[in-house]
Structure 1
Amino acid sequence: MPLILTEEDKPWVVQKYGGTSLGKLLPQITETIIPSYLETNKVAVVCSAISGTEKAKGTTSLLLKAIECAITPTRKDELNDIIDTIRDEHFKAIKALKLRAAIGNEKLFSEAEADVVTECEELRSFLSAAQTIGELSPRSKDRVVSTGEKLSCIIVAAALRSNGIPAHLVSLHNIVPLTNDHTLNSTFFDTLSSHLSSHLATYPQTSIPVITGFFGPLLPSLLQTIGRGYTDLCAALTATALSAPELQIWKEVDGIFTADPRKVPSARLLETVTLEEASELTFFGSEVLHPGVGEVVKRAGTRVRVLNVGRPEGRGTVIWPSSSGVSTPLSRSGDSSALGVSSRSNSPASGFMAANGYYGVNQARRAPTALTSKDAIVLVNVQSNRQSKSHGFLAKVFNVLDGLDITADLITSSEQSVSLALSNVGENEEGIGRVVKGLENCGKVEVQKGMAIVSVIGHKMRNMVGIAGQIFSTLASGGVNIYLIGQGASEINISLVIKEEDALVALDIIHADVLGIPRIKTHMPIAQNSMMKGPWLY
Structure 2
Amino acid sequence: MSGMSHSLLVMKFGGTNMQDAAAIRHSASLAARWARQGVKVVVVVSAMAGVTNALLSIADAAETGDIAAANDSLAEIRHRHMAAAGELGGRPDSATVRELRELLETLRQAIYGVYLLRELSPRSRDLIVAFGERLSAPLMSLALEGLELRAHHLTGGAAGILTDRHFGGARPLPQSAERIRDRLGGLLDAGVTPVVAGFMGETEGGSVTTLGRGGTDYSATILAEALRADEVWAWKDVDGVMTADPRVVPDAQNIEVLSYGEVMELAYFGAKVLHPLAVTPLQDSGIPLRVKSAADPDFPGTLVQRETHNTPGRPVKAVTAIRNVSLINVTGAGVLGVPEVVSSLFGAIARENITLLMVSQSSSMSNVSLAIPDADAARAMEALRHSATGELTYEQQTGKAVLAIVGGGMRGQLGVSARMFTALAEAQTNILMISQGSSELNVSVAIENTEVDAATRAVHAAFGLGGPAEA
TM-score range, shorter chain: 0.7 to 0.9
Q: 1:220 to 1:75 in 2, by over 3 A?
A: farther
Maintained 8 Å contact 2:329/2:369: yes
- 1:238-249 pair list within 5 angstroms: 238-249=223-234
1:202 correspondence with 2:186 = yes
Indicate yes or no: 2:239 matched with 1:254. Answer: yes
- The reply to whether residue 62 of structure 1 matches residue 54 of structure 2 is yes
Q: How does 1:1-12 map to 2 (within 5 A)?
A: 11-12=7-8
- Match of 2:303? 318
**Are the equivalent residues in 2 in contact too, given 1:279–1:288 (CA < 8 A)?**
no
Indicate if the aligned counterparts of 2:127 and 2:209 stay in contact, CA closer than 8 A: no
| Distance in 1, Cα, partners of 2:435 & 2:204 | 34
Q: CA offsets, 1:18-46, max 9 Å, x none?
A: 12211142221123553245304111100
What displacement does 1:228 show? 1.9
Pair 1:143 & 2:135 matched: no
Query: Is the counterpart of residue 444 in structure 1 residue 396 in structure 2?
Result: no
Distance in 1 of aligned mates of 2:467 and 2:301: 22
Task: Look up the SS of the partner of 1:236 in the other structure.
Answer: helix
Distance, in Å, in 1 between the alignment partners of 2:52 and 2:45 is: 12
Matching residue of 1:514 = 463
Structure-to-structure mapping, 1:478-497, within 5 angstroms: 478-497=427-446
Distance 1:258 1:222 in 2: 40
Q: In structure 2, do the counterparts of structure 1 residues 204 and 451 end up closer, same or farther at CA, with 3 Å as the change threshold?
A: closer
% of aligned pairs identical?
28
Does the Cα contact within 8 Å between 1:142 and 1:221 map onto a contact in 2? no
Question: Distance between the aligned counterparts of 2:3 and 2:454, measured in 1?
Answer: 52
CA distance in 2, matches of 1:258, 1:220: 43
Structure (1 or 2) with the larger CA radius of gyration? 1
What is the distance in 1 between the residues matched to 2:438 and 2:385? 31
Shift of the 507–388 alpha-carbon distance from structure 1 to 2, 3 Å rule, reads closer
Corresponding residue SS for 2:297: coil
Q: Write the deviation string for residues 457-495 of structure 1: whole angstroms up to 9, x where unpaired.
A: 111312111211222222223322322111111111011
Secondary structure at the aligned position of 1:263 is classed as coil
Query: What TM-score comes out, normalization by structure 1 length?
Result: 0.77
Does the CA-based 8 Å contact 1:189-1:237 persist in structure 2? no
CA positional deviation for 1:244 = 0.8
Q: Note the alpha carbon deviations across 1:42-98, whole angstroms, 9 max, x for none.
A: 1110011112xxxxxx222232233334445x4344443333222211011123324
Let me know the Cα RMSD of the aligned residues: 3.3
CA distance in 2, matches of 1:22, 1:3: 27
Aligned position for 1:87:
78
Q: Structure 2 counterpart of 1:66, which letter? A: I
Deviations 1:136-176, CA, capped at 9 Å, x for gaps: 55434333233221211111101111121111112233535
Which letter does structure 2 place at the counterpart of 1:65?
A: S
CA distance in 1, matches of 2:448, 2:192: 53
Structure 1 runs (4+) deviating above 4 angstroms are: 2-5, 176-182, 219-225, 402-405, 430-440
Contact preservation (8 Å) 1:406, 1:424: no
Is the Cα–Cα contact under 8 Å of residues 173 and 214 in structure 1 kept in the other structure?
A: no
1:477 aligned to which of 415, 426, 434: 426
CA distance in 1, matches of 2:239, 2:286: 23
Q: Which residue of 1 aligns with 2:285?
A: 300
Name structure 1 gaps, 5 residues minimum.
52-57, 99-104, 323-352, 520-538
The number of residue pairs the alignment matches comes to: 459
Name the amino acid aligned to 1:168: H
- What's the CA shift string for 1:389-445, capped at 9, x where partnerless? 431331343344346543321111142211121224468xx6787478667935233
Match of 2:14 among 15, 18, 21: 18
When structure 1 is superposed on structure 2, of 241-250 and 20-29 the one drifting more is 20-29
> Which whole-Å CA distance do the structure 2 matches of 1:4 and 1:459 have between them?
28
How far, CA to CA, are the matches of 2:107 and 2:213 in structure 1?
20
C-alpha offsets along residues 477-515 of structure 1, whole Å, 9 cap, x if unaligned? Answer: 332232211111111101111222222222222211223
CA contact (8 A) 1:139 1:219 kept: no
Q: How far has the Cα of 1:270 moved from its partner? A: 0.8
Counterpart-to-counterpart distance in 2, 1:500 and 1:220: 44
Relative distance call for 1:178 and 1:484 in structure 2 (3 A) is: closer
**Distance change (3 Å), C-alpha of 1:513 and 1:222:** farther
1:377-396 equivalences in 2 (<5 Å): 377-387=325-335, 389-396=337-344
Q: Cα distance 1:387–1:159, how it changes in 2: closer, same or farther (>3 A)?
A: closer
CA deviation profile, 1:300-319 (whole Å, cap 9, x unmatched): 21101001112222111111
1:3-402 map, 5 Å: 11-24=7-20, 25-32=23-30, 34-51=32-49, 58-72=50-64, 74-98=65-89, 106=91, 110-135=94-119, 137-174=121-158, 175-176=160-161, 189-203=173-187, 205=189, 206-218=191-203, 226-322=211-307, 356-357=310-311, 362=312, 365-387=313-335, 389-402=337-350
Matches within 5 A, 1:428-443: 434=382, 441-443=390-392
Which position in structure 2 is the counterpart of 1:55?
none
Amino acid at match of 2:101: V
Return 5+ residue gaps in structure 2 as ranges.
Answer: none
Given that 1:138 and 1:221 are in contact with CA atoms closer than 8 Å, whether structure 2 keeps it comes out as no
Which deviates further from its counterpart, 309-318 or 439-448?
A: 439-448
Tell me which amino acid in the other structure corresponds to 1:482: I
Structure 1 pair 311–372 and aligned structure 2 pair: CA distance change class (3 A): same
The alpha-carbon distance between structure 1 residues 319 and 444, as it changes in their structure 2 partners (threshold 3 A), is: same
| 137-146 vs 474-483, which moves further | 137-146
For residue 498 of structure 1, the aligned residue among 447, 454, 470 is 447
Check 1:472–1:246 CA distance in 2 against 1; reply closer, same or farther (3 A cut). same
Letter of the structure 1 residue corresponding to residue 395 of structure 2: E
Going from structure 1 to structure 2, the CA distance change for 1:178 and 1:255 (only over 3 Å counts) comes to closer
Classify the secondary structure of the residue corresponding to 2:273: coil
Task: Answer with 58-67 or 221-230: which moved more.
Answer: 221-230
Alignment CA distance shift 1:198-1:267 (3 Å): same
